[in-house]
Amino acid sequence: MSRGDLTDTEWRILNPLLPDRGERGPAIGDKRRTMNGILWVLRTGAPWRDLPERYGKWNSAFVRFTRWSKLGVGRTNMPPAQKGESKSGSARPLARRLLHENPPPHER
């Protein structure tokens, strides 16, 4: 796991919100790796073609991001924290980390 990648707790919250497969083609092989790649591009502002190999093929991450965006995945309401979850495991800190602490480069 690299700095900035989703923690296990964050992934448990986010994973159910992501589709398991697209409209066509096979199921997504490693959603977590793909999501970490998407977050890397959004966090750094780098071009998709500069996506490090550890996140898979840049085009796969780009296509997944585009399809998920069209489905409104990024606009999904975050679920409420589960009873007994610590603050660090709740959806609010995850949403803040994904959306507010890593604004797109044009908003910095």
Would you kindly state where each structural domain of the chain is located, as residue ranges? 8-107
The band of 89, judged by pLDDT with boundaries at 50, 70 and 90, is very low
The residues near 52 (Cβ < 8 Å, ≥ 6 apart) are 37, 40
Give per-residue pLDDT as tens, 28-83. 778 999 999 999 999 999 999 999 999 999 999 999 899 888 877 766 555 554 44
What is the spatial distance between Cα 88 and Cα 104, in angstroms, rounded to a whole number? 23
